[in-house]
Amino acid sequence: MSYEMILVETQGHVGVIRLNRPKALNALNDQLMDELGAALVQFDGDADIGCIVLTGSDKAFAAGADIAAMANYSFMDAYKGDYITRNWEQIRKIRKPVIAAVAGYALGGGCELAMMCDFIIAAENAKFGQPEIKLGTIPGAGGTQRLPRAVSKAKAMDMCLTARMMDAAEAERAGLVSRVVPLEKLFDEAMAAATVISAMSLPTVMMIKESVNRAYELTLSEGVLFERRMFHSTFALEDQKEGMKAFIEKRLPAFRGI
């Protein structure tokens, strides 16, 4: 499939998707989200890919949903057509890890998209925000739900109600991002993390992603039970035999994803 609003490439065992609507600061419209969903599904199904990096430009990861595209929607357009958010859930169905490499603005839907990824590595110039309130609307792709879980209710309320942006340093302190690096190192840092992950046993990578995500959805005892069952099932993997044998033999493991 050829894409107009994203750039897609493979580097080693890492799939790279770059949002590419520079004139609109990567504002997210239906076409872009369709393309993003298709590229993610393709990488998810590609046996050669172990991890995905999603990034934007130096100025913007994404400045939100496309305001011009939705400005004149009626309620029925938005609700019945499920416009704007229709294709956003695709990213949650991806079973391989997706790392967001965020530089510049990650606002509104851009912040929500970054939060849908498995973790965020930020450049020092990153700015996160949920400014929908200034447009007379509210976050619509999980901002009011994922932000409090990531940064606390106090900071999420502050950001959603005042529309203030959070810089990279504050985002790291608050737990929204896992690392902050200089802008010029952002892509390499994300690729290095993705390369490390893609050298691991893919089934264990997928089980960890599933298990950590359960921490959002389940009670602690249910989550711990889920994790334990996943843990038990790793003993059916050849990669578990290889990983533990390699440790004992003081050598690097050669995982085969089985």
Catalytic residues: 65, 109, 112, 132
In a 13 Å sphere around the CA of 155, the CA atoms on its Cβ side amount to: 19
Is 180 within 8 Å of 168 (Cβ atoms)?
Answer: yes
Q: How far is the CB of 163 from ligand HXC (least distance, A)?
A: 8
Q: How far is the CB of 191 from ligand HXC (least distance, A)?
A: 26
Based on CB atoms, which residue is closest to ligand HXC, 67 or 224? 67
Q: How far apart are CA 121 and CA 82, in angstroms?
A: 30
Based on CB atoms, which residue is closest to ligand HXC, 27 or 151? 27
Q: How far is the CB of 124 from ligand HXC (least distance, A)?
A: 17
Is 47 within 8 Å of 91 (Cβ atoms)?
Answer: no
Based on CB atoms, which residue is closest to ligand HXC, 105 or 255? 105
Is 185 within 8 Å of 38 (Cβ atoms)?
Answer: no
Structure tokens belonging to residue 46: 């590609």
Q: How far is the CB of 80 from ligand HXC (least distance, A)?
A: 16
Based on CB atoms, which residue is closest to ligand HXC, 106 or 191? 106
Based on CB atoms, which residue is closest to ligand HXC, 15 or 109? 109
C-alpha dist (Å) from residue 171 to 138, 191, 232: 21, 21, 35
Q: How far is the CB of 143 from ligand HXC (least distance, A)?
A: 7
* Chain contacts with ligand HXC (rule: CB under 6 A): 24-25, 27, 63-68, 84-85, 88, 105, 107-109, 112, 131-132, 135, 140-141
Q: How far is the CB of 258 from ligand HXC (least distance, A)?
A: 38
Based on CB atoms, which residue is closest to ligand HXC, 75 or 235? 75
